Structure 1
Amino acid sequence: KDESGETALFQAAAAGNADVVKTLLKEDASVDLSNTSNVSPLMIAAYHGHSYACRMLLDRGRANINQRDMTDKTAIAYAAHNGHGLAVETLLVRGANVNIVDVYLWSPLMLAAYKGRANIVRQLLIAGADNSLKTANGKTASQLARDGGYLHVSDMI
């Protein structure tokens, strides 16, 4: 681990270096060992859209798919927020909970809607995302999309 708590597996997942991730998993690297912000290798791979690294961490390493960081964000929240549809799909197929909210009560659907990510919103809704959840400020995903100027996304929800 370095001073920020990042392991070699974390750094390989962040870079999307599949060969190194695979090698480290064969050596029994701890998949759920997080950095000082409680961000796991799976979360950082999802954040950057490295779907193959996500798949390896889940299938070979048995990573905790719904692990939360210091603000209660999950891997699917990171992928949804950053518009990484393939990473979202990888996580959905493997059972990620689409309705876990962070400390501000934002769900992955809300994060995607606020950014106008129509394809991600569609994926999450099909997977059972609850469009009636409200943020700490009382806003729904549809209202957040509208606030961001994404009327087409708001209408989808």
Structure 2
Amino acid sequence: MTDAPMPASNEPAHDPEVMELAQKIFGLARHGDTDTIAAYVDAGVPVNLTNDSGDSLIMLAAYHGHADAVRALLDRGADPGKPNDRGQVPIAGAVFKGEDEVVRVLLAAGADPRAGEPSAVETARMFEKKELLELFGESA
């Protein structure tokens, strides 16, 4: 018998090693380490994994302007329209950050520029991004 404290739960999500790995993978998405992210997803990490704010891997990669990582996640089945806990979607985050290539990749993958709060359309209007509004089929 050991005197080690029992974990609050025996679910994998509460395992400190699992939590550390998840944080590492979210960091890879933020930094655009495409090959490593792809390898983890190929090895079984859920492609739509979210952090404690509901940000998915594709949200983090999109927001930080990593078009290749976004493509790799989409190729593996990532949901291009998955909102975070604040109702924000990846395409709107990419518009907000001025990541036009990511916007185009997400749009081509079926992301809805009218989804989310604020939507990509609303964000493009706010920042007077006429070329993106035209891409979304909206008037400036």
TM range (shorter): 0.7 to 0.9
Aligned amino acid, residue 44 of structure 1: L
Match status 1:50 vs 2:62: no
Alignment partners' CA distance in 2, 1:71 and 1:26: 28
For residue 34 of structure 2, what is the aligned residue in structure 1?
Answer: 18
Alignment partners' CA distance in 2, 1:89 and 1:67: 17
Q: Is the 8 A contact 1:51 1:90 kept in 2?
A: yes
Secondary structure of the residue aligned to 1:7 is helix
Match for residue 81 of structure 1 among 92, 96, 102: 96
Q: TM-score under structure 1 normalisation?
A: 0.70
For residue 140 of structure 1, what is the aligned residue in structure 2?
Answer: none
1:102-141 alignment, distance < 5 Å: 102=117, 106-125=118-137
Root-mean-square deviation over aligned CA pairs = 1.8
Query: What is the CA deviation profile of residues 12-59 of structure 1, one whole-angstrom value per residue up to 9, with x for unaligned ones?
Result: 111011121122122121121111110000001110111110011011
Q: Is the 8 A contact 1:83 1:112 kept in 2?
A: no
Larger radius of gyration: 2
**What is the number of equivalent residue pairs in this alignment?**
122
Alignment partners' CA distance in 2, 1:50 and 1:120: 18
Q: Which runs of 5+ in 2 are unaligned?
A: 1-18
Could you tell me the percent identity over the aligned residues? 28
Q: TM-score under structure 2 normalisation?
A: 0.78
Q: Select between 115-124 and 7-16 the one with higher mean Cα deviation.
A: 115-124
Q: Is the 8 A contact 1:83 1:117 kept in 2?
A: no
Query: What is the CA deviation profile of residues 95-114 of structure 1, one whole-angstrom value per residue up to 9, with x for unaligned ones?
Result: 01121131xxx321111221
